[in-house]
A and B are shown apart, each in its own frame.
Chain A
Amino acid sequence: MIDFDGTPVPFEEGDTVLTAVLRAGLWPWRGCLCAEGDCPYCLVTLGGVSYVRACRTPAAEGLRVESHPSDGYPSLPSSTRASTRDSAVGFEMIHCDTVVIGQGRSGRKAAAEAEERGRSVVALDARVGREAVGVYAGPEVVARTPDGMLRIFCEEVVVATGSVEVQPVCPGNQLAGILTRRAAEGLAASGVDLGRVVSVGAGPDGIHHEPARGRLVRFEGEGSVQRVVTVDDNTGVERTYPCDTAVIGLGSGPRDTLARMAHGSPGVRSVGSAAGDLDRPPVPEAGVVCPCSGVTVDDLRSVWDRGFHELELIKRSTLAGTGPCQGAVCMPHVRSFVAAGGQELPPSFTARPVVTQITMGEAAAGWYHHADRRTALHEEHLALGAFMERSGGWLRPWTYGDADREYWAVRAGVSICDVSTLGKVLVSGPDAEGFLERIYPATIAPLRPGQAKYVLVLDERGYVFDDGLVCREDASRFLLTSTSAGAGYFEMWLRDCAEGWEMDVRILDRTASWGAINVTGPRSGDLLSRLGAPDLLPSFMGHTDMEVAGVACRVMRMSFTGEISYELHHQASRSRELWRALLESGADLDVWPHGIEVLEELRLEKGHILVGVDSLPDSTPRRLGHGWAVRMDKGDFVGRRAVARTSRMDLDRLLVGLEMDGAPPPRGAILRVEGAYAGFVTSSTWSRVLGRSVMLAWMNARDGGFADDVLIDGRPARRVAVPFYDPEGLRVRA
């Protein structure tokens, strides 16, 4: 038994829900049923999913089927259902030579021919539950099968989907008890009792029926059809045929939506009746044309008379053809209607996927959320209770739970930070130095082996899109670093430049292969000296290769936090070992890691910009207050012309340092000068060490200058020079 709206309905092997329900003597659907998945009449709700066709649903024991509400649309499903993972829906991708859609006579023939030619063939047929959803560029065919979603990549698609029977358009065509000819033949063969049958047009085979003579005028009845009325066009005399079931044989048109969807792509062709012509129906005179959108012939006339003369305008103004049957019912009639207006038979509406209505859950199958990268230290962070945050395509520790402890470990003791995500690129070659001179606006040649330099990276417009360090290893080899978020693009951009300039360099991205741990704080040297050779530690902005805790490291002494810092670059396979050694060895120094949240405070106190946070996509070095990082007294470099041009213009805005008493205003807080908008805050923090709020902000020029005093949220703030903390940089050089 299946349960149909609470009524138990028996079924036989091979039944669809439609067949079982009709055989049981129920006829819950209005309109002319096609039983082939084209018309929109037999839609039901099944397992919480609406718009399922009863004629495409195999009957199964215990199946609960609900009909759609007769007045209006199905409700949205309950929002209280707990979400589940998408693994519930099967998903597979396959590759073959030929996909044949439809396994009628022409489809079977096409499949056999392709196999004879030695091609691998995948056959689809909606009647056995392997339904094509769409044909996409490639060609790619997407199908729904009993096992789930199937994406098929192929060389050739044969559309052998047969034909769609033309539906009747006349008053009464929304009564129950009307079938297309093929539907009637199939249902009768399955044992559905159709009672007294009157046929219109070509009559059904194998069913006793009375042919209605003349042109169909209307159906009559209460709820379901009781009389078919025709007219003799010569005499004008109407004739009435009493019946239980009306069977409609008005011809057919190609079921070509899938082929039209392919927009004539190479590799997609139609065969059999899917490639045939439309039996053009007579110009509709009255009745419902589009059952999905409830459009009548009068509606078509109404919009036509008001100047909607294009097929697409008629569709858009009446919404004919935009419902679940996607125009299968109405399109031949609307085309006929337009042609009657003195135009040629217009081509069909644009065919758009999907032809089989999959659920969003099915569409989501086989897809994944963005794959955030993890550093080699991911598990270590979790073990320390870190709250992880997405940042620049990576998952990074935002905080280990106690920002105060993290902060003071850096400012007063020693702390470590996982900076493995920094972009790291090796460049080597006879042209390496010359290459980098062209890449960067800074001078590279004076850099000696073992030295490093802060650099901006500009685009052709002279805007800053990244920053980092250049470390010279020897005459012809350099290590470049970039921001975490920019690393992927930076490496690609380097390669493009090298190729475009035909320079002899080798480039190797080490971002994912090297871990990096920053050891920072006034006692960082103490910690490292316990784990390596203290006299080998580099001086400020220097780098050297040495072992730390037995792990081969490139130790770079620079500073983002404002304290003495050693960045330990090493093979990612050794990261955990090194991290643990630092924590264990520094236990008595109260070493404690810091996360991104505190790192952003620390760097802000030093006035270091974060590209992408403080900078805007059109930030020139001058606007960022980084004019010093550009040397115009050197050769050509990317962005040089633009910098030369824009530096002659008035400076319209400037990234400035501000400080104020009290709590920090949020990012985005607005600067006002004499009540007028003067810019906004890009980064702000309460400085624990300074006892006041500090921030970076974009300030607009006023009368050619920049105000010293502004109001933020009504509170006074002062423009001050950066860095806010340790302006002489004594701590980092100590």
Chain B
Amino acid sequence: MNEFIEAQVAFGWEDLRSSYDVVIVGGGGHGLSTAYHLATRHGITNVAVLERGYIGSGNTGRNTTIIRANYSIPEAVRFYQRSVDLYSRLEEETGRWIMHDRKGLLWLVHGVPGTRNERARSIVNQAFGADTVYVTPEEVGEICPDVDLNAGGGEYRVMGGSYSPHAATARHDRVVWALAEGAMKLGVHVHQRTAVTGLLKAGDRVTGVMTDRGPVAAGVVVSAVGGHVSTLAAMAGVRLPIRTHPLQAFVTNHYARSFRPIVASAEMGFYVSQTPRGEMLLGSRIDTQPSYSYRSSYEFLSYCSLPAVTLLPFLRNLTILRQWAGICDMSVDMSPIMGYTGVEGFLVTTGWGTGGFKGIPAGGEQMAELISTDRTPELIAPFSLDRFKRDRLMFDPGSTGTTH
């Protein structure tokens, strides 16, 4: 018997109506979280989430499910820590098991400059609510005895790192389903296999969407699309400073659970955790060439495995089960873009890069508040689209796409 078989969630699918107060394009984590928070926090339930495939079929269902707030700039630490907190309450709130597991994250460095950066990270984290601490190699060894501190010969010996006890993982699909079910229970419509093909406009104002099942009028259209967001935004006349890069991952077969933390090395280019089912889940940096491709490469298996088996020698004997790719919308400053676009009736939540899964609860909560109050909440004000015009970019060395 498999305890991981989803046994609780029940969806209530409804027919597509011709008009909603809010139409959210994209049935991934952010779209559904926005709908969920509109319904649960603000009583706004005349809402439709339109999904081209099945819910969670985009990057939400392809990411490596790490939840962390150990960013390097105050604005990002605050935002992601809010998301960390919301995630830790999501099971209680929805009554659904999302396999939330607080594992702690070891972020290793292999040189003196790296140790300075990790000290800096721990300082800004603590100042803005995240519990990251700097750790010595000895402390690394205590937290994760499997790490070969000498890295097989010294070239990449562990010089230190940071440790974030708050870091967790959750099952991506279950997050999607818990949010979708929670929103649907309160009357939100979720429509799968409903592709948005255009935007309805009155003058400059966006008044709805055209779908392959007909037009749908909307008081507000929210783009929570991953991947082809630039195309949708262009229909509204909005230019987004975004490029899309593939991001690959792989899992090994299942092993009895005994590997506790998430271990990452941005310098060597990999991170690893053990899933609740016992697979070791590995990822690396984004592919350097922009692309919308979901194709995997063998080189990825090689360049991700080498540093992993060097630092964690026991991984050498694990057999690889499956690899896959997702795509990341990277904004110019690697930080998300949330809120107003300058076009009336059209909002975006995008540019999630490698941080999309982490940001699902807080991103949805804040977008819902913005829609409900028609004011940008303070927590996401730094991430609004007009920051590029105002020259107030949110570059964060902790989200440069190297490690997730």
Contact = CB atoms under 8 A, between A and B. Distances in A.
B319 A49 contact: yes
B321 A324 contact: yes
B6 A318 contact: yes
B319 A666 contact: no
A294 interface: yes
A219 interface: no
B5 A358 contact: no
Interface in A79-93: 79, 81-86
A74 interface: yes
A83 B322 contact: no
Interface in B231-262: 252-256, 258-259
Interface in A234-254: none
A666 B123 contact: yes
Contacts of A72: 256
Nearest to A85: B152
SS of A interface (majority): loop
A677 B382 CA distance: 15
B116 interface: yes
A658 B315 CA distance: 47
A617 interface: yes
B111 interface: yes
B254 A83 contact: no
Interface stretch (A59-67, A95-103, A295-303): A295-303
Interface in A167-218: none
A82 B323 CA distance: 27
B306 interface: yes
A354 B323 contact: yes
Interface residues of A, number: 84
A649 interface: yes
A364 interface: yes
Contact of A389 (B2, B111, B299, B320): B111
Contacts of A140: 298
Contacts of A358: 319-320
B127 interface: yes
A383 B304 CA distance: 34
B322 A326 contact: yes
A79 B146 contact: yes
A326 B321 CA distance: 8
Nearest to A262: B295
A390 interface: yes
A649 B390 contact: yes
B129 interface: no
A363 B12 contact: no
A81 to B, nearest CB: 6
B1 interface: yes
A359 B295 contact: no
Given A51-B253, A389-B111, A79 B313 contact: yes
Given A295-B5, A367-B305, A317 B173 contact: yes
B296 interface: yes
A119 interface: no
A117 interface: no
Interface in A607-627: 616-618, 620
Contacts of A667: 116-117, 119-120
Interface in B310-341: 310, 312-324, 333
Given A75-B258, A136-B296, A316 B252 contact: no
Contact of A352 (B119, B152, B323, B393): B323
Contacts of B277: 319
Nearest to A323: B254
A398 B123 contact: no
B255 A82 contact: no
Contacts of B26: none
Contacts of A670: 123-124, 127
Most buried by B among A390, A645, A668: A668
A163 B349 CA distance: 46
Interface string B293-309: 00111110111111111
A677 B318 contact: no
Contacts of A303: 5-6
A295 B2 contact: yes
A617 B395 contact: yes
Interface stretch (A267-275, A304-312, A415-423, A721-729): A304-312
A350 B98 CA distance: 24
The residue among B56, B148, B151, B302 with the most chain A CB atoms within 10 A of its own CB is B302
B313 A83 contact: yes
A293 interface: yes
Interface in B1-49: 1-2, 4-7, 9-13
6 A-B pairs with the lowest CB-CB distances in the bound complex, closest first: A668-B120, A307-B11, A361-B316, A83-B313, A367-B302, A294-B2
5 contacts: A69-B256, A318-B6, A323-B254, A364-B308, A645-B391
Interface of B: 1-2, 4-7, 9-13, 54-57, 61, 74, 110-113, 116-117, 119-124, 127, 145-146, 148, 151-153, 155-156, 173, 177, 192, 252-256, 258-259, 267-268, 277-278, 295-299, 301-310, 312-324, 333, 390-393, 395
